[in-house]
Structure 1
Amino acid sequence: MYISSLSLANFRNYTSEKIEFSPYTNVIYGDNAQGKTNILEAVYIFSQGRSHRAKSDKELIKFGEDFSRLSLDFHDSERDYTAAMQLMKNGRKNIKINHVQITKLSKLMNYLNVVMFSPEDLELVKGSPSARRKFIDSSVSQLYPRYLTSLIDYHKALGQKNSLLKVLRAKGAKSDMMLSVWNEQLAAEGEKIIKYRTDFVKLINDFSAAIQNEISGEKLQISYMPGMRASGDDKDSIYEYLEKNQRREIDLASAQVGVQRDDLHITINGSEAKIYGSQGQQRTSALSMKIAQADYIHHIKSEYPILLLDDIMSELDINRRMYLSQKIRDKQVLITSTDTDLIESTDNTKLFKIKNGSVVREEN
């Protein structure tokens, strides 16, 4: 899988640009705050349907304009695609793939697969559980539309349940039949989510362990840590456990158990990485997990995803940079950097200099 071109109109600080990429390494460089990351963000949006950093689509529209328009030409082993997206100030979004309207996010995510790697991802091991859940969800959602649908339905039901819990605590209630209705829906969707997450973690553990061993010779182990202690992973066992927690959740006015509290348990040489791992070990593990994320997508789809590396080379030492450069050499990658000397260049590398929202193609 690779991208051949990206066109931007009124997107962030870009008025009108078209970029034609190499199917291999593309270096997007320039000073800070010039718009390098905006290019990666535009590609990412076509994969995930939303920005990895903006809270709303309004932030993506160039200041003073009413809309933003993006288009992307990409290809896999079977066919060619043209994706078009228009973002409106009123919040409306129009997306088409090969001139066919896309109305559901789960449909969009099945086309273009990407892996975004930014400096924040180096905190994957020692950061919050929500970062690790996002890592799981962004991987699985790209490949399994039903997973994303279950995830959306689960969080809708969770929102309703939390609203009800606040009302019940204010009333001094001890239980409620409607709470059982929401628990039943959460159990049904939770069963599906747990199955997908369990399968993902088994594979990502194998891929990550092999990569970590290649980089440092250390033993990395990643295991799934469910956000509840139900007697089983089936919906009846999950429902029973949720019901047992009704009283406590009413008292606290929020859901205390469920897949929204899932996490990953990560160890290095048998010790918990988050607590006992050095910064170097934690960064190596995060790097292993992100490379493994690309391997996971390739394992399922037989296509490597597009790699989006946002100023990551400056955060890695020479050994990790060399390893990452070797792993990505035959794949399409878009790399942003302020220093091109940190990036290995080949005959297939394209260089793009960014200055004040303008893109200049430079000779390698």
Structure 2
Amino acid sequence: MHVAHLSLTDFRSYPSVELALGPGVTALVGPNGQGKTNLVEAIGYVATQSSHRVAADAPLVRHGASRAVVRASVIKEDRRALVELEINPGRANRARINRSPVSRARDALGLLRTVLFAPEDLALVKGDPSERRRFLDDLLVARAPRYAGVRADYDRVLKQRGALLRTALSARHAGRRNGHRATRRAADESGFAEAGAGDVLSTLDVWDAHLARHGAELLAARLELLEVLRPLVAMAYAALAPGSAEVGLSYRGTHAGGEDGEAETTAERAVLEERLRARLLEVRDAEMERGVTLVGPHRDDLLLSLGELPARGYASHGESWSFALALRLAAYDLLRADGGDPVLILDDVFAELDAQRRRRLAETVGGAEQVLVTAAVPEDVPSELTGVRFQVAEGSVTRVG
């Protein structure tokens, strides 16, 4: 799989740009702030419909423009597909495949698969649990795009259940008379217009069932993914840092009990659904006191360890980098095993690595069908990664080798 052509309109700093690409290694070289990362970010966006740099779409649209358009011509096994995404902040994004509109933008997921390495990856080890949850969920969607729908369904239920909890909390503080009206507003928002103050608990029962059902599907998929990912991460880390402590990965689920949750071992969906429902009942009083959903995949964590110690807080800078790279390399190996090399994107990564890790990473990824590298100076591109080179400066992209 590789991207043969990239076209941008009003994306980030580019009013318009056309970039012809091909298999092998392509290096985008230029001073910082000239737009190198914008180009590979656009390719990553086609694959995931999200950015590795920002959480919202608004920063992706050039200042003064109302929308951005990203087009990528993708070739897989001699078959070409044109994927077009129209980014509309505050409104639904649109997508077209081979010039034909699709009903939902996420229907374009799966036509391009990428694995992106970036300085932001250090947050996989040192950052909040949300970074690690996103890593798992993005990989799920890359392997099976239907999980984008599972995530969307879970997020929808979580939002509606949260609205009911917040209004129930307001009702409790406001008193019986005001609480009756507030609870009716929450019920209206959640689709239960007939609910009153006395119906909050029964309404929560309904939303508990929805949350447990969609949450169990997402949980089961994460746990199954972790089983196949674990040995790949261990092998990748050993290759990057031979002789180092063994790495470990475990899943901490809030549904498993305890203040912070416990490591989960089963991936049986029915069992997980029952545990979720039971745990939601246990914490209901606390949820109504705080107005938030305290149990579910949105609060879980992927625990990373080096030897007997948690990587977060104990791993050195070099060990953290090796762990983050191992996670990405494992994702690459897994996607490749599923069929077809994903596009590898190395966004200003080599400048962050010492000579040993730089060489080992370059040797590991050099055989991929397509590798896209960004670097501030030519010396940051390892000699093992030779190929086409573009100079990026002042909004222009010029081939130089």
TM-score, length-scaled by structure 1: 0.93
Structure 1 residue 273 corresponds to structure 2 residue 325: no
Name 1:156's counterpart in structure 2: 156
- CA contact 1:117–1:308 (8 Å) conserved in 2: yes
Structure 1 residue 323 corresponds to structure 2 residue 328: no
Question: Superposed, which structure 2 residues align to 1:62-77 within 5 Å?
Answer: 62-77=62-77
Letter in 1 for 2:148: L
Structure 1 residue 196 corresponds to structure 2 residue 234: no
Structure 1 residue 226 corresponds to structure 2 residue 248: no
Letter in 1 for 2:160: Q
Relative to structure 1, is the Cα distance of residues 183 and 92 closer, same or farther in structure 2, using a 3 angstrom cutoff?
closer
Q: Of the candidates 308, 331, 335, which is equivalent to residue 345 of structure 2? A: 308
Kindly report the root-mean-square deviation, in angstroms, between the aligned alpha carbons of the 2 structures. 2.2
Name 1:351's counterpart in structure 2: 389
- The whole-number CA distance in structure 2 between the counterparts of 1:167 and 1:69 is 39
Name 2:43's counterpart in structure 1: 43
- CA contact 1:3–1:74 (8 Å) conserved in 2: yes
- CA contact 1:44–1:114 (8 Å) conserved in 2: yes
Secondary structure of residue in 1 paired with 2:340: coil
Letter in 1 for 2:310: E
The alpha-carbon deviation at position 354 of structure 1 amounts to 0.8
The alpha-carbon deviation at position 111 of structure 1 amounts to 1.1
Letter in 1 for 2:273: K
Larger displacement relative to structure 2 (277-286 or 134-143): 277-286
Per-residue CA deviation, residues 118-164 of structure 1 (Å, 9 max, x unaligned), is: 11102311211001001111111122233221111111111111111
The alpha-carbon deviation at position 100 of structure 1 amounts to 2.7
Relative to structure 1, is the Cα distance of residues 54 and 253 closer, same or farther in structure 2, using a 3 angstrom cutoff?
same
- CA contact 2:362–2:384 (8 Å) conserved in 1: no
Q: Of the candidates 282, 289, 296, which is equivalent to residue 334 of structure 2? A: 296
| Structure 2 unaligned residues grouped into runs of 5+ | 173-196, 258-263
- The whole-number CA distance in structure 2 between the counterparts of 1:155 and 1:65 is 29
Question: Superposed, which structure 2 residues align to 1:25-174 within 5 Å?
Answer: 25-77=25-77, 79-88=79-88, 91=91, 93-172=93-172
Relative to structure 1, is the Cα distance of residues 255 and 58 closer, same or farther in structure 2, using a 3 angstrom cutoff?
closer
Secondary structure of residue in 1 paired with 2:83: strand
Larger displacement relative to structure 2 (143-152 or 224-233): 224-233
Secondary structure of residue in 1 paired with 2:94: strand
The alpha-carbon deviation at position 348 of structure 1 amounts to 5.5
| Structure 1 unaligned residues grouped into runs of 5+ | none
The alpha-carbon deviation at position 186 of structure 1 amounts to 0.5
Question: Superposed, which structure 2 residues align to 1:5-24 within 5 Å?
Answer: 5-24=5-24
Relative to structure 1, is the Cα distance of residues 83 and 106 closer, same or farther in structure 2, using a 3 angstrom cutoff?
closer
Counting matched residue pairs gives 362
- The whole-number CA distance in structure 2 between the counterparts of 1:330 and 1:294 is 12
Letter in 1 for 2:116: M
Per-residue CA deviation, residues 335-364 of structure 1 (Å, 9 max, x unaligned), is: 11102212124696111111111101002x
Structure 1 residue 185 corresponds to structure 2 residue 215: no
Secondary structure of residue in 1 paired with 2:33: coil
The alpha-carbon deviation at position 316 of structure 1 amounts to 0.8
Identity among equivalent positions (%) equals: 28
Name 2:235's counterpart in structure 1: 210
Name 2:283's counterpart in structure 1: 245
